Each structure stands twice: as structure tokens, then as C-alpha cells.
Amino acid sequence: MSYEMLHDYFDGRLAPDEAARFERALDADPQLRERLRELRELDAALETLPGYRAPADFTARVLEAARRRRTPLVLRIALPLAAAAALLLAVFLAEPKTEEPLDYGAPDYVWEADVETYGSLALTDMEDLILAELEAS
């Protein structure tokens, strides 16, 4: 049985057939009986607390305060749209970063001995030219 059904039983909101089914479940389930007992104790304890009445105009004052503080619909829609537009504008208008090639201090040439030592080198776009020079020598 669910806690919702327990509360509905406690509050007397169950239909007679549902209440009878719940009472059969109470007879069979000691944990459910314990939860009902705790709920009854809590209700009794809450009844002992002093009661306070809200002023007669309390609801009207709260609603009026909410109306005064409510943000106009235009601002609730316009501000998020403006923020999104500004973000998109910043992304599309930002200058692309140009990356400078890294200089490792390597020479612009490759010695035949280096090719023999290191095997197949991953050469740049000058690969054909360098290989032709190596084969010619």
C-alpha cells in the first residue's frame, strides 16, 4: 500500500470498498499499522499547537504584492532573447585566431644520414622535393 493511500485512509477520503481493502492490508502488515499509529500521533501533536489566524485581508495583500513585483511579459521574453542574441553576435563576430606555426629550431633541410637514421620521416609539403634531391645524390 502506498503512503498516499495511507493518508487518504487517515483523512477518510477512501471509498468504502477501498477502505475495507486497506483495513485488510493493515491486518496483514505490521509496518503499515506502525505508520498509521505514527500518523495519528503526529496529528494529535499538531492539534496541541496554538492556532493563529491570518488577518482577513492577508490573501488580498499577498496577491497585490505579487502583482506589483511581477516582471512584465515583455521583459520576461525580451531579456533572455537579448542575451542569446548577444552571445551569438559575440561568437560570429569574434576574430578567428590565427595560429603561428611552431618553430622547433629545426633546419629547413634534411640530411641523407638523418633519413637513414630515422627511417621514414613524416615530411612536410616539400617531401617530393627532398626525396628527389636525396635520390639524385
Q: What is the pLDDT of residues 52-79, one digit of tens each?
A: 777 788 788 877 777 776 666 666 677 7
Helices (H), 70-123: 73-93, 112-118
And the C-alpha cell for 91?
Answer: 561568437
And the C-alpha cell for 32?
Answer: 503499515
Question: Is 15 part of a structural domain of the chain?
Answer: yes
3-state secondary structure of 107: coil
The domain in which residue 16 lies consists of 3-47
Question: Is 83 part of a structural domain of the chain?
Answer: no
Residue corresponding to grid cell 498516499: 4
Question: Is 9 part of a structural domain of the chain?
Answer: yes
- Residue whose C-alpha is closest to residue 123's, from 113, 135, 108, 137: 108
Question: Is 20 part of a structural domain of the chain?
Answer: yes
The count of structural domains within the chain is 1
Query: 1, 22 in Cβ contact below 8 A?
Result: yes
- Residue whose C-alpha is closest to residue 10's, from 50, 46, 52: 46
The predicted pLDDT at position 123 comes to 47
pTM over 0.75: no
Question: Is 34 part of a structural domain of the chain?
Answer: yes
Q: How confident is the model at residue 27 (pLDDT cuts 50, 70, 90)?
A: very high
Question: Is 57 part of a structural domain of the chain?
Answer: no
